[in-house]
Structure 1
Amino acid sequence: MLDVRRLRLLRELAHRGTIVAVADALAFTPSAVSQQLGVLEREAGVPLLERTGRSVTLTPAGEHLVRHAEAVLERLEQATAELAAARHGPAGPLRIGAFPTATRAIVPAALAILATRHPALEPMVSEIDPAAVADALRAGDLDVALVHEYDFVPAPAAPGIATAPLCGEVTYLASADSGDTTTTDDLRVLRRRRHSPWITATPGTLCHTMTVRACQAAGFQPRIRHRIDDFTTVLALVAAGQGVALVPQLGIVDPPADVHLTRLPIHRRTRIAHRRGAAIHPAVAAITDALRAAVPDHLIAD
């Protein structure tokens, strides 16, 4: 009989790529991970890993077993959710991840709703970039999270993770002069900024990738001067004449008077993410309902 805990380690190795990364994520030592994977290979009766020096890759049999592991872990998550629903209503710790603008604009109102409807829940919020959410959910560090995607940066399907739509918002070009119109239906307005310095988020984030790809779609590579993740700081730098930037609607709060905003045909969509099979868990269902009730009226309903 295959041990589900060892199947989880194999699944994480398939997604994270190294034994050290699996050990860090799941609070094991690398030697313990290696030992458990060795036991799994003996249980399976066929080689699951191919070791070359320090690198480890999955054999075809290992990859096939990971696909089965995904299905098994989803069913176990669903069973856990059904048992929780049978035992009691939403109660206990609930670990929520969210990106900064959602943490400010949506999460506080959702927590207030949650406190009224389900006072036995103990929500704990952590800010996290959407790119790191799938790993955190699979590792059990989070129960639910808000993620986003842009028109130019669609989110790839993450194994073991399910998402549901929450809301959408538009994106603006922020500049320190009024040379642009207040709205546009195409990206030609970006091309007029091809010689301007640009302010983007830090590399590796979806916001950074969105800016680069939008500029490329307009026919140029942006000349990046500053890399800032906080949109309030981005707008302050724009007002100081340090460059132009693309800012989603939720990132625009009391912008400086010197900042001019041009609405663009670029949208950002926010989704609710959780482990596959967990949608009916009372706590996950409760925070999902609260988040939907907390979406500001000026955002695009999904």
Structure 2
Amino acid sequence: MKQQVRVSSSNDINWTTGVCKNLRMPATDLTAISGLFSRATFRALASARPERAREVARRVEEAVPGAAEMSLGDALDNALRIMAKQYRNEYVFKNSLVDRIVFGRHNPRTASALLELRAGSSIADVVIVNGTSTAYEIKTDLDDFSRLPTQIRCYEQCFERVVVVTSPRLASRVLAVVPDHVGVSALNKRGSLSEMRAPAPGIGRLTQTGMFGLLHRQEVLNILRRTRGYEIDVPPARLWQRTQDLFLGLGVEFAHVEVVDQLRVRGIRAADPAGVMPRSLRAMAYEVPLNASEARRAHAKLIAPTASFLN
């Protein structure tokens, strides 16, 4: 059944399977909506303190038209739809990549996402590992391109493929300034990703030093134990240098296979929490890992009516 909520004489929101249409939000409201998709909000939903969820629900109810008539998760989904049409910030791009690639093109049981992963002197917005490694650098209409050459140089030493994701308006400009081996995709206002140019594989551009920098200490030890039978044989103060020296002795292609396996295991821990979250929070589930009890608490709150927190 379609329900219409009158916002003003000129704007309607048509609620059909939770889809928000034909609504223009004031800039102040868009700022409030974008603030809902933060690490602090996600941690509040996972918290055992009920007052933190009430505060989130109050903010959602104030920012999202019609939120009181739907679940908290559905209200957040509608909030992200509004942003996708009118204020496509970095989170909109991140969530679209995770939703459409990890949960669409691949499977969260076999593909993993890592967000805000340091790669050399840069930080990759999204990295997806699924038998290989792909770094996604997001350039929204709000960004400039001044750091893009440096970012690409860092990523191509760490990941086999590099893709710049931008808006349709900027896609031709990106194609003109990035190297031919870098892929370019455009995210439109409907949330669809269009591949303007596929990324070229680049094992030959990888370096052992770049890949080593992606790993946690235990991941390095896992690789060296499996490939070299290594057990710790130096004091803690010398362990980093010792393991780096051993890792640099691995062949590039061989090392990449091992690094992909470790990154996949790291990212796949978020598959269960991400799978039960509303689609608008899938990227957040990878960015802010939750343990099992935190994920259950967040899920219970997100399926509850927004109004139930406001009484």
| Normalised TM-score (structure 2) | 0.29
**1 or 2, which has the higher helix percentage?**
2
**1 or 2, which has the higher strand percentage?**
1
| Normalised TM-score (structure 1) | 0.29
